[in-house]
Amino acid sequence: MKKIVAVNASPRANMNTGTLIREAAKGAESEGAEVQVFDLYRLDKVHGCMSCFACKLKPNEGKCVFRDGLEPVLEAIRNADGLVIGTPNYLGDVSAGFHALYERLIFQSLTYQKEPRRYEIQRIPVLFVMTSNCPEEYYPELGYGKMLKTYQKALDEAVGNTKVLIAGDTLQVKDYSRYNWTMFDAASKRERHEKVFPEEQKKAFRLGAQMVIKPW
Ligand SMILES: Cc1cc2nc3c(=O)[nH]c(=O)nc-3n(C[C@H](O)[C@H](O)[C@H](O)COP(=O)(O)O)c2cc1C
């Protein structure tokens, strides 16, 4: 049975990012995979890379061994046949939780040798999900496209071929009337959430299924 790891790096388990991650998980399950879902912000203390360099020492080469809430996540990814990972866009970048995992996932794979540059790994398909307030069509002019490419390339190299799924113009809060947010039109946010977001959920489901039956 294939094992898929799905990681939600939004502090909110069941809002935009968490919903898409769970849809991709359901898609993978629909094709018989066993899926382990992690909500990064619900784990015990999580740290970024501690710069201990233990991942470059003989017994651990290629493996982050720092013990905290991320240890079981890294271990599960190591034994997985696919990875789904999603983050909200925070200030034009990924969330702090995502970055903590990213530092440890990517850095452990670097040998610091001229050749080979990376420890040998079993490459697995990755689905990288980003949700944002900003609609997807503004990504190029805001530099978000370039930012995403950087993460995609690093995941490509350290984990496996990475597909990106963007869900923009998300519903940030359930009730806009409680806030004095003159930037947004609550009705069109709601409309989009009801019309477009379900399509994005279907996309996530399909990609989760594809990850199992036709890995990229
Ligand atoms: C701290 C913070 C920073 C944010 N920065 C941005 C941003 O720079 N660009 C953007 O498009 N959306 C930004 N957003 C909006 C979120 O990316 C968006 O609402 C996302 O879908 C939230 O994901 P969630 O529903 O899974 O929590 C920000 C939200 C927060 C809380």
Q: What are the sequence ranges of the domains in the chain?
A: 3-213
DSSP 144: H
**C-alpha 155 – ligand 1 centre gap (Å):** 22
pLDDT at position 173 is 97
Q: Is 133 in the pocket of ligand 1 (CB under 6 A)?
A: yes
Q: Is domain 3-213 given the CATH code 3.40.50.360 in the classification?
A: yes
Q: What is the pLDDT of residues 163-179, one digit of tens each?
A: 999 999 999 999 999 99
Q: Residue 13 — very low, low, confident or very high, per pLDDT cuts 50/70/90?
A: very high
pLDDT at position 166 is 98
Q: Are 179 and 173 in contact (CB under 8 A)?
A: yes
Interval 32-36 mean pLDDT: 98
Q: Is 15 in the pocket of ligand 1 (CB under 6 A)?
A: yes
Q: Is 210 in the pocket of ligand 1 (CB under 6 A)?
A: no
pLDDT at position 5 is 98
Identify which of 98, 132, 189 to mutate to test ligand 1's pocket (most ligand atoms within 8 A of the CB).
Answer: 132
Strand 82-88 relative to strand 126-131: parallel, antiparallel, unpaired? parallel
